[in-house]
């Protein structure tokens, strides 16, 4: 039995089951008190696509609780976890976990090895679509691990128990690979026992992230973004907006585009803004999946529904930095 160790427990979050459960209890109590439809104690029916951040819980824990609080766990048996690669670059294929279990302080989460074998066996005209990642890559990567305790916490009381997970790591991705991934995952969407979770932070702003873009007006849209965005270093007069507000406007435009459901607009936004949304490719995969999913018709509703948004630091100086976090879901 191979178990991926919880390599970030004790640093990014508590490795004590008691302390961690108390922390998550507090986060979920706050999420349930938001008011409106998101204050549910039993999840939102049909919420089987989730998106949440993957930073240390001191920064992202409340957003993650908002995400998982609306999760409809009534039928879930397996979760496709889509996340970005933070430490290694690869292209022409996606990577899946080689482990049988993921360790959490609460207990081990089973990996759906049979579904992973199905994915590994898939081929396209381009060749291999999925490969196993090395144990070292899996253990270094945090995008799945930060979601794992929340999956266990919510899943342990679900009708079918803690669901199995299928971690899928995405790095370089051209149109061909995106098409292959979408066509491979699309049939799994028909089964209500299959759920999808995107692990993604939003804007990483600051010179240490190589991103200091700035919008010069609060009235931005995808149509006028090109003429209203600049590098802060090139902006010579006093900024009309605080930097943290500019970051928020950039992120909120991304959220609005994801809500509209257009994968083409999402790609256009990323190309124009350069926004350093680490999970931008997993998000684009899900948007494409929804465009091709014949049983999905959002009608008057939004595609992605957003719950909360925050930044690690309210940046006011060009020397500062921050990372943004958002919680959301899609109803199928």
Query: What is the architecture, at CATH level 2, of domain 3-202+278-331?
Result: 3-Layer(aba) Sandwich (3.40)
pLDDT for residue 238 = 61
Domain ranges within the chain, ordered by starting residue: 3-202+278-331
Contact assessment for residue 324 and residue 311, using Cβ atoms and an 8 Å cutoff? yes
Give 3-state DSSP helix, strand, coil % of the chain, rounded to 5. Answer: 35, 25, 40
* Distance of alpha carbon 275 from alpha carbon 250, whole angstroms: 8
Residue of 164, 168, 170 whose CA lies nearest to 151: 164
Give the pLDDT means over successive 10-residue stretches in the chain (332 positions): 96 98 98 86 93 98 98 98 96 97 98 98 92 97 98 97 98 96 96 98 96 94 96 64 95 97 96 97 97 74 91 93 97 92
Which three-class secondary structure string do you get for 245-286? HHHHHHHHHHHHHHHHCCHHHHHHHHHHHCCCCCCHHHHHHH
pLDDT for residue 237 = 53
Which two three-digit tokens encode residue 283? 């998000």
What are the Cα distances from residue 318, in Å, to 216, 239, 242? 15, 11, 10
pLDDT for residue 40 = 82
3-state secondary structure of 126: coil
* Distance of alpha carbon 186 from alpha carbon 183, whole angstroms: 5
Q: Would you call 304 exposed, middle or buried from its count of C-beta atoms within 10 A (0-12, 13-18, 19+)? A: buried
pLDDT for residue 16 = 98
């Amino acid at each position: 039995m191979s178990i991926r160790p919880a390599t970030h427990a004790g640093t990014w979050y508590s490795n004590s089951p008691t302390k961690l459960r108390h922390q998550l209890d507090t986060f979920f109590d706050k999420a349930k008190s938001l008011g409106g439809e998101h204050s549910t104690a039993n999840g939102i029916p049909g919420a089987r696509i989730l998106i949440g951040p993957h930073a240390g819980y001191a920064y992202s824990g409340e957003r993650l609780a908002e995400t998982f609080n609306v999760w409809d766990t009534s039928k879930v048996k397996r979760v496709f976890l889509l996340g970005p690669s933070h430490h290694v670059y690869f292209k022409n294929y996606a990577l899946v976990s080689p482990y049988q279990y993921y360790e959490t302080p609460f207990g081990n989460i089973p990996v759906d090895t049979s579904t992973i074998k199905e994915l590994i066996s898939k081929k396209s005209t381009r060749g291999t679509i999925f490969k196993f990642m090395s144990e070292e890559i899996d253990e270094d990567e945090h995008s799945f691990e930060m979601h794992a305790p929340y999956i266990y916490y919510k899943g342990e009381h679900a009708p079918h128990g803690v669901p199995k997970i299928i971690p899928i790591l995405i790095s370089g991705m051209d149109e061909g690979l995106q098409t292959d991934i979408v066509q491979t995952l699309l049939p799994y969407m028909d089964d209500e026992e299959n759920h999808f979770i995107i692990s993604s932070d939003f804007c990483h702003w600051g010179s240490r992230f190589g991103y200091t873009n700035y919008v010069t007006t609060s009235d931005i849209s995808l149509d006028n973004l090109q003429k209203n965005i600049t590098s802060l270093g090139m902006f010579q007069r006093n900024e009309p907006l605080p930097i943290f507000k500019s970051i928020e406007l950039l992120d909120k435009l991304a959220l609005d585009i994801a809500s509209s459901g257009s994968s083409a607009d999402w790609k256009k936004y990323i190309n124009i803004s350069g926004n350093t949304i680490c999970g931008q490719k997993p998000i684009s995969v899900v948007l494409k999946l929804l465009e091709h999913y014949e049983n999905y018709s959002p009608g008057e509703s939004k595609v992605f529904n957003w719950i909360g948004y925050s930044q690690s630091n309210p940046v006011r100086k060009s020397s500062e930095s921050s990372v943004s976090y958002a919680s959301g879901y899609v109803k199928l």
